[in-house]
Amino acid sequence: MLTSEQGKPLDQAAYEIVVSTLVLRAFAEMRAPENVLREGNGQTVIEHRTPLGVVGSITPWNFPVILLMNKLGPCLVTGNCMVAKPAPTTPLTTLLFGELASEILPAGVFNTITNQHELGRLMTSHPDIEKIAFTGSTGTGIKVMILAVESIKRVTLELGGNDAAIVMADVPAKEAAQKVYQGAMTNAGQICVAIKRAYVHDSIYDEFCEAIAELANSAVVGDGRQQGTTIGPVQNKMQYGKVRLLLEAAKKNGTVLAGGEMSEGIGYFIPPTIVKDLDDDAPLVHEEQFGPVLPVLKFSDIDDVVRRANYSKYGLAGTIWGRDLVRAVEIARRSNSGTVWINQHLAIDANLPFRGSNQSGIGAELGQAGLHKYTQAHIISAVEFDAAPPHLSRSVGRDTTSFAMTSGLIDGQGDLADRAARQG
């Protein structure tokens, strides 16, 4: 069903289902326990967490199952309920999951609802939904934030990215090309953290371009249900049109090394396409294509390539490929991306937080940090009755108000309280 509604090849669909299962299992082991912040001298301070209530999940069409599980796992394990809205072009797997859940979970714990356009707005503005967990485009994420402000909803936003790969001079060009190709073309490039622009050191640039073009030319583009297919279609007409426009502009200003020609048959098929000789201000470089078209750019200076990679409104993820790990880590520290992978790609672990920076998102998904986003933190500060400090004394003058703390409520802070009292 996932292949039929989304388009990805069957092996990639199977991978999504397996990883979704692992995500749920990982969250099933997590908890949000009480945290004792201070204890001793007759005082105890505790942070404890409670469920928010009802969470609204809004998920996109590129990974409709796993991106739902990233939200459902922490939602349920912290005691919340969920209303899930899938993308209107990929509702079937979410609805099927809802049927399965109805046989397992109590009524009302997990709910699915679908329509074409207005549902996301209605959910985000609904007074009984306490949090919106959204994955999708930056433009739609901005609309979610605006609507959520009206009721001060909690929001987690995982948004778009224009993820850069930096390929250093000390790696074999052909091996690096293989890894970058997979990072760019899996799911026909329709991944928020897909490699969307590759910066390759000039000493291996030509060999790298030749190798990655060969990989693109050998891809099997077609129906994801057919054995041997490696690239399925772009999922919907709107995205297909966007990628076509970016590709047509790139063909005018760059050199197409592989692909570039659209299929004339039925379906939104775009062959994996490699383009070089583009400037950094080319639309294919500075916009998120979200499709199987990759620009390959040349660099010679590290400071220059870090600046170019960071020159983006996005900041979701990035990759660095190099044998010198110390140097690669130092380069990663200078990245403005929320996540940087070194010599690996899409290394998402349900036990580790994943977050974006800049216009690529707010909050965190996965890991303990992601779990906490589905809770409300409370502080309990207690002292023994006989050790309780006297009330703050308050004197009000015509022009001033002063407070004096005459006990050492916080050890070693009596002098600070005295100064505060003298200064009003």
The enclosing domain of 115 has a CATH number of: 3.40.605.10
Catalytic-residue membership of 81: no
Q: What is the distance between the alpha carbons of residues 58 and 363, in angstroms, rounded to a whole number?
A: 15
Distance CA(51)–CA(110), nearest Å, equals 15
Position 406 pLDDT exceeds 90: no
Residues in the chain: 424
The sign of the CA dihedral 322, 328, 329, 331 is negative
Question: Do residues 93 and 229 share a domain?
Answer: no
Query: Structurally, how many domains does the chain consist of?
Result: 3
| Full-model pTM | 0.90
Confirm whether 353 is domain-assigned: no
Do the domain assignments include residue 385? no
In this structure, the answer to whether residues 152 and 26 fall within a common structural domain is: yes
The two tokens of residue 308 are 């170019």
Q: Residue 389's pLDDT is what?
A: 66
Mean of pLDDT over the chain: 92
- What is the C-alpha separation between 65 and 59, in angstroms, rounded? 9
- Give 238's Cβ-side CA count (13 Å radius): 3
pLDDT attached to residue 219: 97
pLDDT at 419: 53
Return the minimum-mean-pLDDT range out of 213-217, 272-276, 407-411. Answer: 407-411
Mean pLDDT on 385-389: 75
Within-domain flag for 354: no
Asked whether 358 and 336 are in contact (CB, 8 A), the reply is yes
Q: 359: closest CA among 332, 337, 386, 391?
A: 337
Write the CB contacts of 133 (distance below 8 Å, at least 6 apart in sequence): 55, 56, 57, 58, 71, 75, 155, 156, 365, 373
User: Residue 262's pLDDT band (boundaries 50, 70, 90)?
Assistant: confident
Domain check: are 179 and 308 in the same one?
A: yes
Given pLDDT bands bounded at 50, 70 and 90, which one contains residue 388? Answer: low
Q: Are 371 and 77 in contact (CB under 8 A)?
A: yes
Whether 175 is a known active-site residue: answer no
Are both 150 and 29 inside the same structural domain? Answer: yes
Is the pLDDT score of 201 beyond 60?
yes
Task: Determine the pLDDT at residue 387.
Answer: 72
* Amino acid identity, position 318: G
Output b/e per residue, 316-329; b: 16+ Cβ within 10 A.
bbbbbbbeeeeebe
Residue among 5, 75, 192, 287 flagged as catalytic = 192
Domain interval for residue 418: 392-423
**Could you read off the pLDDT of 139-198 as tens digits, one per residue?**
999 999 999 999 999 999 999 999 999 999 999 999 999 999 999 999 999 999 999 999
For residue 113, is pLDDT > 90? yes
Residues 135 and 173 grouped into a single domain: no
pLDDT at 331: 98
Per-residue pLDDT of 29-76, as tens digits, reads 999 999 999 999 889 999 999 999 999 999 999 999 999 999 999 999
Regarding whether 314 and 188 lie in a shared domain, the answer is: yes
In a domain, 387, yes or no: no
Residues 6+ away with beta carbon under 8 Å from 130? 52, 53, 54, 55, 153, 154
Are residues 331 and 244 both part of a single domain?
yes
- Domain shared by 415 and 372, yes or no: no
Residue 113 lies in a domain: yes
Domain assignment of residue 417, yes or no: yes
Q: Give the active site residue among 130, 158, 288, 365.
A: 158
Residue type at 398 in one-letter notation: R
Contact of 177 with 212, CB cutoff 8 Å: yes
Residues 327-377 have pLDDT tens digits of 999 999 999 999 999 999 999 999 999 999 999 999 999 999 999 999 999
pLDDT tens digits, one per residue of 264-311: 788 999 999 999 999 999 999 999 999 999 999 999 999 999 999 999
Averaged pLDDT, 312-330: 98
- Considering the domain architecture, whether residues 29 and 141 belong to the same structural domain is answered as yes
